[in-house]
């Protein structure tokens, strides 16, 4: 499936996915964390993020103070200079990228700061997180951005009976 097909399918299935995720939140199975870990691993063994990188092209991470300090150190500049050059404060008062796609993404979809990337990038798309059902709103949103998240929810629907 190409990216356009994924996004069309994800849009088409929003209502169905939302219903499933809401049911899951109301009555999460006892082994959900373990099941989610298995599903996450299975999906990410099949999907190569480098073939897409849509998350880096369309959505930016939140930068913590630690992220800012770490990346400023990598670039050998002061944190304030890193902020001035790359970040802005959004409506929630968080540091986010000034522009997209991410300035650290190269033409082959590789992250130029991969080893030092922000915490939000390390954890994206959050499908292997403990108590996964607590972030259903985010997961639903991410199905429209990330083909792997869409696949995770599809596989959840097949494997998790609620």
Residues 100 and 133 grouped into a single domain = no
Residues 140 and 156 grouped into a single domain = yes
Residue 1: predicted pLDDT: 72
Q: Which of 118, 144, 158, 134 is nearest to 38 (CA)?
A: 158
* Domain of 104, in residue numbers: 62-109
Question: Residue 77: inside a domain, yes or no?
Answer: yes
Residues 55 and 130 grouped into a single domain = yes
Per-residue pLDDT band for 69 (boundaries 50, 70, 90) equals very high
Question: Residue 93: inside a domain, yes or no?
Answer: yes
Asked whether the beta carbons of 132 and 20 are under 8 A apart, the reply is no
Question: Residue 14: inside a domain, yes or no?
Answer: no
Please state, in angstroms and rounded to a whole number, the distance separating the CA atoms of residues 3 and 31: 32
Residue 132 has pLDDT above 90, yes or no: no
Question: Residue 19: inside a domain, yes or no?
Answer: no
CB atoms within 10 A of CB 130: 9
Whole-prediction pTM value?
A: 0.91
Q: Residue 50 has what DSSP assignment?
A: G
The pLDDT mean for the chain works out to 95
Residues 50 and 70 grouped into a single domain = no
- Reported as a single tens digit per residue, the pLDDT across 79-100 is 999 999 999 999 999 999 999 9
Question: Residue 21: inside a domain, yes or no?
Answer: no
Question: Residue 5: inside a domain, yes or no?
Answer: no
Question: Residue 55: inside a domain, yes or no?
Answer: yes
Residues 80 and 101 grouped into a single domain = yes
Residues 105 and 67 grouped into a single domain = yes
Residues 148 and 129 grouped into a single domain = yes
Summarize the confidence of residues 5-25 as an average pLDDT: 95
Residue 3: predicted pLDDT: 85
Residues 104 and 66 grouped into a single domain = yes
Question: Residue 114: inside a domain, yes or no?
Answer: no
Residues 129 and 154 grouped into a single domain = yes
DSSP letters, 90-105, are -TTS-EEESSSS-TTB
Number of domains making up the chain: 2
Residue 117: predicted pLDDT: 98
């Amino acid at each position: 499936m190409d990216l356009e097909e994924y996004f069309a399918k994800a849009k088409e299935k929003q209502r169905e996915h939302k219903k499933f995720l809401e049911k899951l939140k109301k009555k999460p199975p006892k082994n959900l964390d373990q099941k989610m870990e298995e599903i996450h691993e299975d999906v990410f063994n099949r999907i190569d993020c480098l073939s897409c990188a849509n998350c880096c092209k369309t959505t930016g991470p939140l930068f913590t103070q630690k992220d800012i300090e770490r990346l400023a150190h990598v670039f050998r500049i002061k944190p304030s200079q890193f902020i001035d050059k790359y970040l802005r404060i959004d409506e929630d008062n968080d540091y986010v990228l000034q522009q997209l796609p991410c300035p650290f993404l190269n033409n082959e979809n590789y992250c130029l700061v991969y080893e030092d990337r922000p915490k939000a990038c390390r954890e994206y798309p959050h499908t292997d997180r403990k108590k996964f059902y607590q972030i259903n709103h985010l997961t639903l949103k991410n199905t429209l951005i990330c083909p792997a998240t869409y696949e995770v929810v599809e596989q959840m629907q097949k494997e998790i009976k609620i």
